[in-house]
Amino acid sequence: MPEGDTVFRTARRLHEALAGEEVTRFDIRVPRHATADLTGEVVHEVVPRGKHLLMRIGAFTLHSHLKMEGRWLVFAHGEPWRTPAHQARAIVGTSRVDAVGFEIAMVDLVPTEEEDRLVGHLGPDLLGPDWDPVEAARRLHADARPVHVALLDQRHLAGLGNEYVNELLFVRGILPMRPATEVDVAGLVDTAARMILANRDRSGRTFTGDTRRGRQTWVYGRDRRPCRRCGTLIRRAELSATDTSERNVFWCPRCQR
Euclidean distance between CA atoms 200 and 12, whole angstroms: 11
| Options 200, 235, 236, 247, the catalytic residue | 247
Residue 67 bears catalytic tag: no
Residue 71 bears catalytic tag: no
Ramachandran angles phi, psi of 113, nearest 5°? -70, -10
3-state secondary structure the chain: CCCHHHHHHHHHHHHHHHCCCECCEEEECCHHHCCCCCCCCEEEEEEEECCEEEEEECCEEEEEECCCCCEEEEEECCCCCCCCHHHEEEEEECCCEEEEEECCEEEEEEEHHHCHHHHCCCCCECCCCCCCHHHHHHHHHCCCCEHHHHHHCCCCCECCCHHHHHHHHHHHCCCCCCEHHHCCHHHHHHHHHHHHHHHCCCCCCCCCCCCCCCCCCCCCCCCCCECCCCCCECEEEEECCCCCCCEEEEECCCCCC
Residue 3 bears catalytic tag: yes
| Options 9, 49, 51, 89, the catalytic residue | 51
Mind telling me the catalytic residues? Answer: 2-3, 51, 247
